[in-house]
Chains A and B, each alone.
Chain A
Amino acid sequence: MSFELGLFCRDCGKQFPSQPLAGCDECFAPLEVAYDLKAVGRSLSRDALQSRPRTIWRYRELLPVPSSPAPHERPVGGTPLVAAPRLAAALGVRELYIKNDAVSFPTLSFKDRVVAMALSKAREFGFRTVACSSTGNLANALAAGAAAEGFEAYVFTPADLEEAKIAGTVIYGARLIKFSGNYDQVNRLCSELAQKYPWGIVNVNLRPYYAEGSKTVGYEIAEQLGWRLPGAVVCPMAGGSLIGKIAKAFDELQQLGWVAAESPVRICGAQATGCSPISTAVKQGQSEITPQRPATIARSLAIGNPADGFYAARTIIQSGGWAEDASDPEIVAAMRLLAQTEGIFAETAGGVTLASAQKLIAQNRIDRGRPLVLVITGNGLKTLDAVQQPEVTIPVLAPSLRQLEAYLATPLPPRSIGAEAQLVTA
């Protein structure tokens, strides 16, 4: 039995039967998937999850997917929640965890989760071709998912997409087209495409279903903490959807009675200073977004006109959280800090998250005594150009023990974190 009730408008509340539609035809606000949460609670207990695989499908009753497992379902999700004591000490917090979607299956970013949802729905709606506009991670995830699940795929990106993300898309056979514009322009083109072509465009006409996949990050964090909610979570923001869905997941678990209602979770957002429409609004204490022209190495977060920006800002403010943003040097320094304290190599968005968290801690926006979770959304191998240091010379020695011993005897430089290798103060 599926618990999905259909779609409803976030603004006027109008209800729609389940269909590939992202905006209300009455008031043009975004649509959201509705569930019979009470029925979920009656039908499913927390204990019943124990025997299920540790993937996104573990939480299927809370997702817009069929009620029974199906053969095409791939083992997506279930990424580690890594206790991070060394980084915690460096940050001056008591308990810190990394939600590590840098190792997400199959394409090393959290987009694998939302793509799995979109493809499940695309199959249900009878689409044979799927597409997306992307700053890179969604492109990879959709290309891989489409190949594995038998869809044709088109991927549209800005022209400055990193090489690793290009290769990581076309290898799966998807058709990648680059545009000489920024992401916002590419996204607008996809909206026009969705009006004309019978395609499942995952972040356009399948958006309400696609977005629900992000809730699994929240469910997993809670379960991995032993069915507890953290004191605060810091989440990077591009379009602004992920952070709201994590908050929604925590809220659903509280409604189900599966987590104790402790103090509210402070939902905190992180952006690059060079593309900070949402963090800017939050720091002004309001949720009306003024778009920006992105200029940041964190290209996966370079969305100047975030579709869910208003909702992200409102969620942050209402939760008692805050938002911060990080400059390009701060981003790189934080990538190094995470790698060198916890052995996790995150992409630039991960640097954004950690650098912003450092500022939020310094500002006392985050309670140092309560568990803190940083959401790492993608792998550092995808954004190598951000950390390549031409000025660092790697020694090349002749293969002789004497040469090596002579080299090792010379004072070696300390492991480099970067020019900003200190705790960021407010």
Chain B
Amino acid sequence: MSCKVRIPAPLQRFTDGADLLQSDAANLPALLGELTARFPELKDRLCEPDGRPRRFFNVYINDEDIRFLGGNNYQFAPGDEVLILPSIAGGKS
């Protein structure tokens, strides 16, 4: 049940430069738990204290906003491409 997780440029410094990861997580909460355990620096930036993604990120599954697919209830399918994108993006600092 492996999905691909694309990490956009602004977040790569928190994933040791990785831009593409694999995961067997079943859904978004599981994926976020896995990512933040593996990359602790992502935790406060990506998630609220209760584990929900912060509102400044959109999560896309195969280019579709996950909130239109059921959000946390969406079960990842094999080969799904997950993209976590800052919603206020733009510019290089």
Chain B residues engaging chain A, CB cutoff 8 angstroms: 9-10, 44-45, 54-58, 65, 67-68, 85-93
Given contact pairs A21-B93, A205-B91, A305-B58, A28 touches B68 in the complex (Cβ within 8 A) = no
Contacts of B91 in A (CB 8 A): 19-23, 194-195, 204-205
Q: Check A293–B68 contact: CB distance below 8 A.
A: yes
Q: How far is the CB of B15 from chain A (nearest CB, A)?
A: 14
Measured CB to CB, the nearest residue on chain B to A194 is B90
Where chain A touches its partner, the secondary structure class is loop
Within 8 A of B (CB), among A177-233: 184, 188, 190-192, 194-195, 201, 204-205, 207
Contacts of A307 in B (CB 8 A): 87-88
Q: Check B90–A28 contact: CB distance below 8 A.
A: no
Contacts of B57 in A (CB 8 A): 28
Q: Which are the 8 A-B pairs with shortest beta-carbon distances?
A: A205-B91, A204-B90, A191-B89, A194-B90, A23-B88, A205-B90, A21-B91, A28-B86
- Contacts beyond the supplied A204-B91, A307-B88: 9 A-B pairs with Cβ under 8 Å: A21-B93, A22-B89, A23-B91, A27-B44, A27-B45, A27-B56, A31-B88, A190-B90, A204-B89
Judged by a CB distance under 8 angstroms, whether A403 is at the interface is no
Judged by a CB distance under 8 angstroms, whether A30 is at the interface is yes
Contacts of A289 in B (CB 8 A): 55
Q: Check B9–A195 contact: CB distance below 8 A.
A: yes
Chain A residues engaging chain B, CB cutoff 8 angstroms: 11, 16, 19-23, 25-31, 184, 188, 190-192, 194-195, 201, 204-205, 207, 288-291, 293, 305, 307, 310
Q: Check B85–A188 contact: CB distance below 8 A.
A: yes
Q: Check B92–A195 contact: CB distance below 8 A.
A: yes
Measured CB to CB, the nearest residue on chain A to B46 is A28
Instruction: Select A19's contact among B54, B65, B93, beta carbons within 8 Å.
Output: B93
The docked-state distance in angstroms from the alpha carbon of A289 to that of B44 is 21
Contacts of B88 in A (CB 8 A): 22-23, 28-31, 207, 307
What are 18 A-to-B residue pairs whose CB atoms are below 8 Å? A11-B56, A16-B93, A19-B91, A21-B92, A22-B88, A23-B88, A23-B90, A23-B91, A28-B57, A194-B89, A195-B89, A205-B91, A207-B88, A289-B55, A291-B65, A293-B68, A305-B58, A307-B88
